[in-house]
Structure 1
């Protein structure tokens, strides 16, 4: 197995909020880390135009990934308009074929924002299609289908407010300082909340939720995941093998 992991999300800072601790842990275990976003975060501002904020947020995402020796990719779609269509699926499929990850993390299938849900669907198809010869992308096929894991939804609940319980938890207590630094790289988002809330709510909210997940397994901080186990996908839990004592399977 190639020790290569990809986090494919909708916007810059999504990976940092939901799986940066696990990515940091995997990097320490010798894994090559890639973080990709469907869009550059072009709507995440009240002061810049789209081109300006896109450049800022991509630079922040690159800086964050580099803190754990990772590589950042942006597929350059538009915030709010991430769609499940031919162009988007092909772009994500090309990225996965280029990176050739053994493991992919992505957004929850049910979440507060449709951009996240569409990204989750696109990631599912792109993983499944990595070996389909007649998919019209330039990158060559590869096998096998990557292991696919869904991160927690924002605040751990679906769009109707119902709890979404992880099937596994990763103890990230040792890696919280790195996760915090990675999220702190997204200054354009952090500073906006500092201005409006007069406190570092961006970081505090992340730590509160990680503490909730940690309490559920008796640790200080944790990240929650569910594995995609549909037909054609790997059925064993490779994260359990890789992370050992750091993972709790429910």
Structure 2
């Protein structure tokens, strides 16, 4: 059994960017899949208090993960307050030591949101530190650095609107209905994303973005990923091998 941890900044980020791929992995019944968001999205409302929207969004995230039989582990960071510092790195290392993943999927290091970019940096550095016995947290160190993959930035572009090309694209056409159902669990964000992000319909926007990735490989819907290649991270191509029937490589 392969343990797969998908960790991003806010509830609904994983659903936007990787839910179809995770649904394909869940279909095999052979992997333990864990969703984690560093924040509970406590600032994602104009009507509810931070504590009220946090509680609601945690419930929505757990419900979305449950659709494919995944666990949900919430973090304790605050929305718009994720930074790479010593205390934050310890917190993310502890998350990795508790979940003990073989494969980690996380945010793009370049994205529209500072929370997304900080999450990517923290997860990368925590993967390295989690195997160091003398780097102390509450849980014991893990044996090996997990293999690390980067999700697409939202919309597949950087802050200037330039495309960030993935290493490979997963054909999620057969799972787009599941991805839609998972994202629809985040109903608290419908009004927020319309008001703050100017998305008339956030689920339809997800399908547009997934459709754009799919076009790159000639299928209706896709999700893009990059394998982190920094030393000494493993390069076993675990995710590619698990999904080889659904992947088209970029050149």
**TM-score band (shorter)?**
over 0.9
What's 1:6 paired with? 5
What's 2:51 paired with? 51
Shift of 1:236: 2.8
Instruction: Provide the C-alpha distance between the structure 1 equivalents of 2:46 and 2:201, rounded to a whole number of angstroms.
Output: 17
Shift of 1:211: 0.5
Shift of 1:204: 0.4
Secondary structure of residue in 2 paired with 1:223? strand
RMSD, matched Cα = 1.7
* Compared CA separation, residues 192 and 209, structure 1 to 2 (3 A): same
What's 2:142 paired with? 142
Matches within 5 A, 1:106-145: 106-145=106-145
* Compared CA separation, residues 197 and 86, structure 1 to 2 (3 A): closer
Mapped pair 1:38 → 2:42: no
What's 2:70 paired with? 70
Instruction: Provide the C-alpha distance between the structure 1 equivalents of 2:194 and 2:75, rounded to a whole number of angstroms.
Output: 29
What's 1:16 paired with? 15
> Does the CA contact (< 8 Å) of 2:90 and 2:137 recur in 1?
yes
What's 1:205 paired with? 205
Secondary structure of residue in 1 paired with 2:243? helix
Instruction: Provide the C-alpha distance between the structure 1 equivalents of 2:159 and 2:205, rounded to a whole number of angstroms.
Output: 19
Instruction: Provide the C-alpha distance between the structure 1 equivalents of 2:38 and 2:197, rounded to a whole number of angstroms.
Output: 28
Secondary structure of residue in 2 paired with 1:91? helix
What's 1:223 paired with? 223
Shift of 1:194: 6.5
Instruction: Provide the C-alpha distance between the structure 2 equivalents of 1:195 and 1:96, rounded to a whole number of angstroms.
Output: 35
* Compared CA separation, residues 136 and 222, structure 1 to 2 (3 A): same
Secondary structure of residue in 2 paired with 1:136? coil
What's 1:27 paired with? 26
* Compared CA separation, residues 240 and 196, structure 1 to 2 (3 A): closer
What's 1:156 paired with? 156
Deviates more, 1:12-21 or 1:27-36: 27-36
* Compared CA separation, residues 129 and 63, structure 1 to 2 (3 A): same
Shift of 1:245: 1.2
TM-score (norm 1): 0.95
TM-score (norm 2): 0.95
1:82-111, Cα deviation, whole Å (9 max, x unpaired) = 010111111111111111111101000000
Secondary structure of residue in 2 paired with 1:126? helix
Instruction: Provide the C-alpha distance between the structure 1 equivalents of 2:195 and 2:128, rounded to a whole number of angstroms.
Output: 43
Instruction: Provide the C-alpha distance between the structure 1 equivalents of 2:194 and 2:219, rounded to a whole number of angstroms.
Output: 29
Deviates more, 1:56-65 or 1:234-243: 234-243
What's 1:169 paired with? 169
Instruction: Provide the C-alpha distance between the structure 2 equivalents of 1:229 and 1:185, rounded to a whole number of angstroms.
Output: 34
Shift of 1:200: 6.0
Instruction: Provide the C-alpha distance between the structure 2 equivalents of 1:192 and 1:121, rounded to a whole number of angstroms.
Output: 27
Instruction: Provide the C-alpha distance between the structure 1 equivalents of 2:191 and 2:124, rounded to a whole number of angstroms.
Output: 34
